[in-house]
Amino acid sequence: MTQDHTPLNTSRADLLARLEEERTYDLAVIGGGATGLGVALDAAVRGFSVVLVESHDFAKGTSSRATKLVHGGVRYLAQGNIALVREALHERTTLLRNAPHLAQPLAFVMPSYRCWESPFYGVGLKMYDALAGSAGLGATEFLGVQRTLQCLPTARPDGLKGGVKYWDGQFDDARLALALARTAARHGALLVNYCAARSLVHDAGKVSGVLCEDTETGKAYKIRARCVVNATGVWVDALRQQDSEATHRPVRPIVAPSQGVHVVVDREFLPSDHALMVPKTADGRVLFAVPWLGKVILGTTDSPRNDLDREPEPFAQELQFILGESARYLRRAPGPSDIRSIWVGLRPLVKPEDDDGNNTKSLSREHTVLVSRSGLVTVTGGKWTTYRAMAEDVLDKCFEKGLLPGRPAGGTVRLPLVGTPSGPVQHRMCDPQGWHSYGSEEVFVRDLPGAAASLGGEVTEAMVRFAARFEYARTVEDVLARRRRVLFLDARQAAAAAPDVARILQEETGVDPGLEAFLRLTERYVALPGK
C-alpha cells in the first residue's frame, strides 16, 4: 500500500473540540517529550484510543536538548552495562530506518595522544561492533596520524599518535519528536500541546482521568481514561506526589536530575563531516565536537541539579570545562566570543534507594516503569535512542497490571514516521538549510506562499506557514527553536528573524505569538554564566 504523504491539519480549534467530547479513552498520556510521544504512538498503532496533553510545546524540555546522537553508548560499555548497550544498538538501527530524513550514520574519531589510547579504546570499540552485529553502521578502524588529521583537520597535531574511527548515529531530536506526534495523530491519537495537566482524577482510590487546562485561554477540560501514564521526564515526581496525596500513600522521589550543557560554535572550528570524541577528559567526563546543521556542537557536562527550571542555565564551571577541554584537542579553540548558542538539558536519571543524587555520572541511564496503588503508570529515565523500547515496556506494564487488555507488540519496529521518503535519502544533516528534515513533505512546504521568501536563519515564510498549519506551532519559539533549529544554532540570528516569524504566525493563528518573550529567551542562549 502506498503511503499517503498529505499532511494532517493541526487546527487548534479542531483539537480542542475533540478534547471537549464526552468519552473515555483507553490511554491518557501526560507529557509530550520523547517518552510520552513514543507511548502514544505505540498505543495508537495497537488500536487503543489515545489522548496526550503537554503543558508547553512538544519536546520543549529535555527532548529538544540532546547531544543529537543516536547511539549505543560507548561509555555505558565501559561501565559494563552490556544489556543497555545491546538494546540501544538495536534501537539505533530501527530509528535510522524509520526516520531516515531525520537520522543518519555519523563517523566519530577518537584522537590518541598517548601510545596506549588507540589499542585500548580500539579493543572496546571492536566489542561495540560485535554487540551491534548485523545492525552495525561501519567497522571500527585504526588510523595513523595523517588519516586522523584528514578526518579531523583542526585537531592538535602536536603529540598526535593516531586515532580510532567508529560509527554511531545523529539526528534532529525536536523534529523527530514532532514526527512521532504527527505519526501518532495519523493513527487516531489526539495530541494537544499547551494543555497542562492540573490534577489527576481519582474514583474510589483509582486514577480515572486528568483535569487539564488550555494555557492559551484558561479553559478547563476533563479527560476520562482507563489508564493514565505519567511521562513528564524530570518532573514525574510532582505528579507522583499529587497521586500520593490523593490516595494517602507516601512516595519516595525517584529522579536525580543531571544537567548537560552544549555550546555551539561555527563550523570553522571543525570543518569536517566526522565528529571528535574524547572518551575520558581530565575529570573523567566525555567530550564531543559534533558537526550539525552547519555548526559544531561542543559538550556535554553531567552535573547534578536540584531545581527544575524550564530554561536551565549553565554553571560557570561547566562552560570553563567545555572550552578548556576543547583547547586541549583543537588547534584553534573557541573562546566565549565565538559562542553562537548555549543550551542546557536536564536528564531524568533514576536514583537507587540509597543514592543521594550528588554523583549523576554513576547513575544508570536505564529507564524505570512504576505503577502506583491507584494505577498511575510512571515512566522516566532512559534516553532518546531507546524511546521505542521504553514505550513497549510501558504498555507491557499496563497489560501486566490489568489496566489495558493485552495486544501484540512490534507494530512500531518497521513503521515509517511522517515524512519518510519512499525512495533513497540523501543524507544532509550537515546542511544548514535543513530542507532534508521535511522528507516527503518538502513538496508541500514549497507549494505554500513564500517558499523563496527568506526570513533569515535558513527559515522561509512557507516554513512558518507549514509549522502553523500542520506542525502544531503556536509561538515564535515553537518555530525558531523546534520546527526550525535556529535558536539552538545561532541565538542572535534567531532574534533577527523573530519579528517576521511573529507576523506570519499571527496571520495564521490569530493569537499572540509571544515575540517579546522569545526575544528575552534569545538573550539567555548567548549569556555567559556569571555575567
Please spell the DSSP secondary structure of 178-197, one letter per residue.
HHHHHHHHHTT-EEESSEEE
The answer to whether residue 374 is domain-embedded is yes
The answer to whether residue 302 is domain-embedded is yes
Q: Residue 9 has what DSSP assignment?
A: P
Among 175, 214, 229, residue whose Cα is nearest residue 429: 175
Q: Do 206 and 58 share a structural domain? A: yes
Q: Do 232 and 271 share a structural domain? A: no
Instruction: Decide if 274 contacts 165 (C-beta within 8 A).
Output: yes
| Pairing, β 255-266 against β 303-304 | antiparallel
The answer to whether residue 385 is domain-embedded is yes
Q: Do 511 and 379 share a structural domain? A: no
Tell me which of 29-43, 55-69, 342-356 is least confident: 342-356
pLDDT of amino acid 1 = 37
pLDDT of amino acid 411 = 96
The answer to whether residue 41 is domain-embedded is yes
Mean pLDDT of 412-437: 81
What single string gives the DSSP state of each residue in 29-83?
EE--SHHHHHHHHHHHHTT--EEEE-SSSTT-SGGGSS-SEE---HHHHHTT-HH
Q: Is 143 helix (H, G, I), strand (E, B) or coil?
A: strand
Q: pLDDT, tens digit, for every residue of 84-107?
A: 888 899 999 999 999 999 999 999
Tell me which of 2-11, 324-333, 370-379 is least confident: 2-11
**CATH code at 191?**
3.50.50.60
Q: Which single residue is written with the C-alpha cell 507488540? A: 409
User: What is the chain's mean pLDDT, rounded?
Assistant: 92
The answer to whether residue 149 is domain-embedded is no
pLDDT of amino acid 431 = 64
Which one is predicted more confidently, 222 or 82? 222
Torsion sign over Cα 414, 418, 424, 425: negative
Q: Which domain holds residue 278?
A: 255-350
pLDDT of amino acid 355 = 47
Domain count, the chain: 3
Q: Would the pLDDT of 353 be above 60? A: no
Residue 529 burial class via C-beta count within 10 angstroms: exposed 0-12, middle 13-18, buried 19 and up: middle
Q: pLDDT category, 430, cuts 50, 70, 90?
A: low
pLDDT of amino acid 432 = 65
Among 110, 113, 108, 109, residue whose Cα is nearest residue 161: 113
Nearest-5° Cα angle at 446, 443 to 448: 115
The answer to whether residue 7 is domain-embedded is no
Among 348, 347, 311, 345, residue whose Cα is nearest residue 237: 348
Q: Would the pLDDT of 295 be above 80? A: yes
The answer to whether residue 296 is domain-embedded is yes
Q: Do 186 and 235 share a structural domain? A: yes
φ and ψ at residue 116, rounded to 5 degrees: -80, -15
Q: Do 53 and 181 share a structural domain? A: yes
Tell me whether the omega of the peptide bond preceding residue 300 falls within 30 degrees of 0, making it cis: yes
Q: Do 244 and 277 share a structural domain? A: no
φ and ψ at residue 138, rounded to 5 degrees: 165, 155
pLDDT of amino acid 360 = 46
Q: Do 459 and 502 share a structural domain? A: yes
Q: pLDDT category, 365, cuts 50, 70, 90?
A: low
Q: pLDDT category, 439, cuts 50, 70, 90?
A: very high
Q: Would the pLDDT of 528 be above 90? A: no
Among 70, 488, 73, 60, residue whose Cα is nearest residue 263: 488
> Percent of the chain, pLDDT > 90?
81
The answer to whether residue 204 is domain-embedded is yes
Mean pLDDT of 215-243: 97
Mean pLDDT of 324-348: 95
Among 203, 185, 204, residue whose Cα is nearest residue 193: 185
Q: pLDDT, tens digit, for every residue of 97-147?
A: 999 999 999 999 999 999 999 999 999 999 999 998 988 999 999 999 999
Among 366, 348, 370, residue whose Cα is nearest residue 357: 348
Question: pTM, whole model, 2 decimals?
Answer: 0.95
